[in-house]
Chain A
Amino acid sequence: EVQLLGSGGGLEQPGGSLRLSCAASGFTFSSFAMSWVRQAPGKGLECISTIGGSGGGTFYADSVKGRFTISRDLSKSTLFLQMDTLRAEDTAVYYCAKGHNSGWFLFDYWGQGILVTVSS
Chain B
Amino acid sequence: IVMTQSPATLSVSPGEGATLSCRASQDISSNLAWYQQKPGQAPRLVIYGASTRATAIPTRFSGSGSGTEFTLTISSLQSEDFAFYYCHHYGNWPATFGQGTKVEI
> Which residues of A line the B interface, CB within 8 A?
37, 44-47, 50, 59, 61-62, 95, 100, 102-108, 110-113
Q: How many residues of B contact A (CB 8 A)?
A: 24
Interface pair B42/A110, CB less than 8 Å apart: yes
Interface pair A112/B94, CB less than 8 Å apart: no
Interface pair B94/A102, CB less than 8 Å apart: no
19 contacts between A and B (CB under 8 A): A44-B99, A45-B35, A46-B97, A47-B94, A50-B93, A62-B94, A100-B45, A102-B48, A103-B90, A105-B91, A105-B93, A105-B95, A106-B31, A106-B90, A107-B45, A108-B45, A108-B55, A111-B42, A113-B42
The closest CB in chain B to the CB of A48 belongs to B94
A62 to B98, CA, bound (A): 18
Number of A-B contacts (CB under 8 A): 59
Which B residues are CB-close (under 8 A) to A61?
94
Which B residues are CB-close (under 8 A) to A45?
35, 43, 86, 88, 97, 100
Which B residues are CB-close (under 8 A) to A59?
93-94
Return B21 CB to nearest CB of chain A, in Å.
16
The closest CB in chain A to the CB of B43 belongs to A110
- Given A44-B97, A44-B100, A50-B93, do A112 and B31 touch, yes or no (CB 8 Å)? no
Residues of chain B in range 62-103 having any CB-CB distance to chain A below 8 Å: 86, 88, 90-100
Binding site secondary structure of chain B:
loop
Interface pair B91/A103, CB less than 8 Å apart: yes
Return B57 CB to nearest CB of chain A, in Å.
11
Known: A44-B100, A45-B97, A47-B97. 4 other contacts (CB 8 A): A100-B48, A106-B45, A107-B43, A108-B45
Q: CB < 8 Å: which of B86, B90, B92, B95 contacts A44?
A: B86
B54 part of interface (Cβ distance < 8 Å): yes
Which B residues are CB-close (under 8 A) to A50?
93, 95
A50 to B90, CA, bound (A): 12
B33 part of interface (Cβ distance < 8 Å): yes
